[in-house]
């Protein structure tokens, strides 16, 4: 049986590396998603805002300085006229104005009003600016005026540290890559048997169908793990994941292998149903993207509506993502047992269904 | 010339109906893209937060209202902190906010009154949104009930009378990307199929030149892609894009579709392989969606991302659609420039397809 597995493994891996279309289908979507996220992350967290720091006196200047230093805005200090031009040219999302009478009103015991002119194209970034404004104003010094917090917020964090935004997304890209590589490679290798007509020889040979299936799944796993380890290694080297212990790295490799094995099993099943490259190509890509987005995609599952969360909880990559984020980002293996168990159950299910699907599609 | 173009068009439509699976696929893929991106959009709305109110006083009720007015949270009442924590730990909610028993009494005494936030700080960006959302709610509450605690006030002036919701705004970027994907697949796969099957030779042997052949193919591709485009438009309307914008958007929609179909034809002519057109179209869909400015103008993104976005037609196409549906112009370049860039892409794509066709028909030692 081992000889059969190794023979199928060697044959399918050769097929993968020799086929530019398969390599392209495997690598292009995650790589491009990665590049897009890199570009996107450069702008995440802050919007460009013109800061008009009018007025005389130290309090007005201090207010302008505090607002300029607030990390939620990318402030550009401008005169009122220049700010209006920048606003009209869409160079900034808003104009923040510290009024000319800021110092005077404050000294008289009043409440100076800082204004924000916002180009409210959509609710998402408009709300972002609205959240930033009171937070930023809370840091503005008000010399001579007593200030006390009416409402204070006590915070308790569940994770030891906030993960890096890019690292968080990188785990999602890694999961997509493993899934895509597993589904596409094993699927393409299997569909090749139909297109070249060798499937009959393969299934009518004395070798057990399970050995053929395991060989095909293993080929998908090796191809997926190689590209996964390269991407994961680069992310680790770039510092996206923070510091990860060797033990957690090994556990992450186990989870990656389980995930790509499940993907490869799904790929072989899909190939048995499709039996042609033209049908399998788009179907496998759609399948991996559906699995990816139904399990939360690049966001966290807690942000999804209830019905979508219920679907996510039966999808294998949800558990792969949870385990990998825990191990690589938070140094936590809290849900690891559950995650590995569910991935293991999925693997047994796809392996059990594989030989039956292969034989059934042959008899059609 | 027109007769030849019409003959190619008829042949193309017939060929499409003879291969229903491939045609259906090219129509279905953009719709699938719409569904996938809608799934993505669903995660970008309000944050699911468990709310535990232990205080029955009026100030606690006012704080709950302030949390709602912060436009950040979808609040789910939880009976006890333990129940709320279970919701957070099981990833049903991103955070839990507890308004403790003594809250109203502390506010009545002039503060400070404490609100407890338990946060699943998965990443800095998400966690910061939650933190600032709670801070905004606290500021809104203080403004009304404890004005003395905040000496600096604020006012917001909106440029437009209505703020477009997150989902409808995103839906137009999704629609643009779905149209692009439809155009690439219909145009690209159709043209590549001709080269793979060798049927392009029949066309080359005919007395018709490159222009009528390309024209016929373009119109046929346009008609086939239109079906997927219309379904994607219905999807966008379901995501909240205003129906009253539909009439005014017909012209821009058709023009955008024509641009994307031309690019598809060029892609198919240059790659000549369905196996390459397919992954490339898919691979292009997602990043180009991000470059269309799905969350806000690309002008407010990084300069690098803006420079890249301005190369691609989807940036301008998305701007034209937003102008039709929402009534504002969201790009820093004028409308005329956007139309000129789209026209240039169409001409350049058709020229590339024409060049590929002519080069293939040019005699080379008696062989094609």
Within a domain: A151: no
Tally of domains in chain A: 2
For the cut 80, the answer to whether the pLDDT of residue A206 exceeds it is no
Q: Which of B72, B113, B156 sits opposite A151 (nearest CB)?
A: B113
Looking at the fold, whether A58 and A207 belong to one and the same domain comes out as no
Q: Which of A163, A281, A289 sits opposite B122 (nearest CB)?
A: A163
- Dump pLDDT digits (tens) for B282-293: 778 777 888 888
For the cut 60, the answer to whether the pLDDT of residue A364 exceeds it is no
Interchain pair A36, B287: CB under 8 A? yes
Within a domain: A154: no
Looking at the fold, whether A233 and A343 belong to one and the same domain comes out as yes
Q: Which residue has the tokens 């007005």?
A: A60
The span from the CA of B2 to the CA of A363, in Å, is 50
Within a domain: A311: yes
Strands of the sheet containing B113-119, edge to edge, are: A151-157, B113-119, B95-99, B47-53, B73-77
Closest chain B residue to the Cα of A292, Cα to Cα: B36
For the cut 50, the answer to whether the pLDDT of residue B7 exceeds it is yes
Q: Which residue has the tokens 């890096």?
A: A164
Looking at the fold, whether A340 and A296 belong to one and the same domain comes out as yes
Q: Which CATH number characterizes residue A68's domain?
A: 3.40.1710.10
Residues of each domain in chain B carrying CATH 3.40.1710.10: 47-149
Once rounded to an integer, what is the mean pLDDT over residues B209-229?
84
Looking at the fold, whether A77 and A20 belong to one and the same domain comes out as no
Once rounded to an integer, what is the mean pLDDT over residues A86-96?
94
Interchain pair A159, B328: CB under 8 A? no
Q: Give the residue with greater pLDDT, B200 vs B187.
A: B187
Whether the predicted model's global pTM rises above the 0.95 cut: no
- Dump pLDDT digits (tens) for A33-51: 677 667 666 655 678 999 9
Q: Which pLDDT does position A157 carry in this prediction?
A: 92
For the cut 80, the answer to whether the pLDDT of residue B335 exceeds it is yes
Q: Identify the domain containing residue A63 by its residue range.
A: 47-137
Q: Which pLDDT does position A170 carry in this prediction?
A: 85
Interchain pair A125, B154: CB under 8 A? no
Write out chain A residues lying below 8 Å of B45, CB-based.
303
Let me know: does B147 contact B7? Beta carbons within 8 Å: no
Interchain pair B139, A135: CB under 8 A? yes
Inter-chain CB pairs, A–B, below 8 Å: 329
- For residue A70, the 8-state DSSP code is -
Looking at the fold, whether A183 and A296 belong to one and the same domain comes out as yes
Percent of chain B with pLDDT over 90: 34
For the cut 50, the answer to whether the pLDDT of residue B81 exceeds it is yes
Looking at the fold, whether A174 and A205 belong to one and the same domain comes out as yes
Q: Which of B112, B291, B331 sits opposite A150 (nearest CB)?
A: B112
Q: Which residue has the tokens 């966001």?
A: A299
- Dump pLDDT digits (tens) for A280-326: 777 777 788 788 888 777 777 777 777 888 888 888 989 999 999 99
Question: Could you tell me which residues are beta bridge partners of residue B156?
Answer: A116
Write out chain B residues lying below 8 Å of A112, CB-based.
151-153
Looking at the fold, whether A209 and A305 belong to one and the same domain comes out as yes
The span from the CA of B189 to the CA of B25, in Å, is 10
Fold topology of B47-149? abc type-2 transporter like fold (3.40.1710)
Looking at the fold, whether A78 and A127 belong to one and the same domain comes out as yes
Instruction: ipTM value, please give it.
Output: 0.79
Confidence of residue B22 (pLDDT cuts 50, 70, 90): low
Closest chain B residue to the Cα of A138, Cα to Cα: B150
Write out chain B residues lying below 8 Å of A318, CB-based.
none
Q: Which pLDDT does position A251 carry in this prediction?
A: 95
Within a domain: A156: no
Q: Which pLDDT does position A43 carry in this prediction?
A: 55
Let me know: does B163 contact A120? Beta carbons within 8 Å: yes
Interchain pair B152, A140: CB under 8 A? yes
* Sequence-separated (6 or more) residues with CB below 8 Å from residue A69: none
The span from the CA of A54 to the CA of A52, in Å, is 6
């Amino acid at each position: 049986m081992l000889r059969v597995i190794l023979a199928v493994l060697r044959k399918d891996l050769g097929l993968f590396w020799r086929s530019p279309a398969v390599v392209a289908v495997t690598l292009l979507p995650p790589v491009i998603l990665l590049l897009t996220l890199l570009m996107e992350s450069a702008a995440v967290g802050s919007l460009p805002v013109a800061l008009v720091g009018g007025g005389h006196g130290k309090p007005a200047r201090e207010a302008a300085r505090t607002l300029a230093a607030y990390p939620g805005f990318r402030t550009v200090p401008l005169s009122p006229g220049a700010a209006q031009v920048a606003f009209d040219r869409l160079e900034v999302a808003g104009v923040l104005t510290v009024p000319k009478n800021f110092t005077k009103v404050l000294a008289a015991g009043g409440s100076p009003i800082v204004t924000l002119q916002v180009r409210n194209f959509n609710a998402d970034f408009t709300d972002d600016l609205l959240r930033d404004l009171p937070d930023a104003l809370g840091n503005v010094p008000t010399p001579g005026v007593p200030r006390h917090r009416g409402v204070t917020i006590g915070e308790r964090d569940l994770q030891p540290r906030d993960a890096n935004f890019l690292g968080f997304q990188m785990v999602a890209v890694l999961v997509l890559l493993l899934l895509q590589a597993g589904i596409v490679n094993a699927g393409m290798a299997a569909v090749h048997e139909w297109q070249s007509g060798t499937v009959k020889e393969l299934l009518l040979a004395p070798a057990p169908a399970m050995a053929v299936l395991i060989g095909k799944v293993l080929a998908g796993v090796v191809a997926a793990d190689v590209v996964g380890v390269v991407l994961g290694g680069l992310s680790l080297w770039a510092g996206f994941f923070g510091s990860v212990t060797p033990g957690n790295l090994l556990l992450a490799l186990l989870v990656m292998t389980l995930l790509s094995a499940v993907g490869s099993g799904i790929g072989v099943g899909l190939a048995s149903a499709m039996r042609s490259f033209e049908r399998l190509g788009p179907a496998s890509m759609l399948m991996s993207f559906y699995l990816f987005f139904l399990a939360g995609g690049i966001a966290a599952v807690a942000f999804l509506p209830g019905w979508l969360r219920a679907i996510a909880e039966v999808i294998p990559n949800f558990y792969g993502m949870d385990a990998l984020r825990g191990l690589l980002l938070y140094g936590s293996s809290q849900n690891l047992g559950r995650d590995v168990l569910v991935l293991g159950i999925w693997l047994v299910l796809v392996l059990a269904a594989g030989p039956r699907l292969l034989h059934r599609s042959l008899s059609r | 010339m027109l007769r030849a173009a019409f003959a190619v068009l008829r042949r193309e439509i017939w060929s499409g109906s003879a291969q229903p699976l491939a045609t259906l696929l090219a129509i279905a893929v953009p719709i699938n893209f719409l569904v996938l991106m809608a799934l993505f959009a669903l995660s970008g709305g309000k944050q699911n937060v468990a709310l535990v109110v232990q205080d029955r006083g009026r100030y606690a009720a006012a704080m709950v209202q302030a949390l709602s007015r912060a436009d950040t949270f979808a609040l789910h009442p939880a009976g006890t902190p333990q129940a709320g924590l279970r919701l957070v730990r099981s990833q049903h909610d991103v955070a839990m906010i507890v308004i403790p028993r003594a809250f109203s009494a502390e506010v009545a005494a002039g503060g400070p009154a404490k609100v407890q936030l338990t946060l699943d700080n998965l990443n800095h960006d998400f966690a910061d949104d939650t933190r600032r959302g709670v801070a905004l709610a606290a500021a809104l509450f203080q403004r009304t009930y404890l004005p003395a605690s905040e000496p600096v006030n604020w006012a917001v002036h909106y440029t437009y009378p209505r703020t477009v919701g997150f989902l409808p705004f995103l839906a137009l970027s999704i629609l643009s990307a779905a149209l692009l994907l439809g155009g690439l697949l219909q145009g690209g796969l159709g043209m590549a199929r001709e080269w793979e099957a060798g049927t392009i030779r029949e066309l080359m042997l005919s007395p018709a030149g490159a222009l009528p052949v390309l024209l016929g193919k373009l119109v046929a591709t346009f008609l086939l892609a239109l079906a997927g485009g219309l379904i994607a438009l219905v999807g966008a309307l379901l995501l909240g894009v205003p129906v009253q914008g539909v009439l005014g958007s017909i012209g821009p929609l058709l023009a955008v579709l024509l641009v994307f179909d031309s690019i598809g034809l060029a892609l198919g002519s240059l790659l000549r392989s369905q196996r390459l057109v397919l992954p490339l179209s898919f691979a292009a869909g997602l990043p180009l969606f991000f470059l269309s400015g799905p969350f806000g103008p690309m002008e407010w993104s990084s300069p690098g991302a803006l420079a890249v976005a301005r190369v691609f037609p989807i940036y301008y196409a998305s701007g034209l659609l937003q102008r039709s549906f929402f009534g504002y112009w969201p790009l820093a370049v004028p409308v005329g420039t956007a139309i000129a860039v789209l026209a240039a892409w169409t001409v350049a794509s058709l020229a590339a397809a024409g060049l590929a066709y002519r080069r293939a028909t040019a005699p080379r030692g008696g062989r094609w």
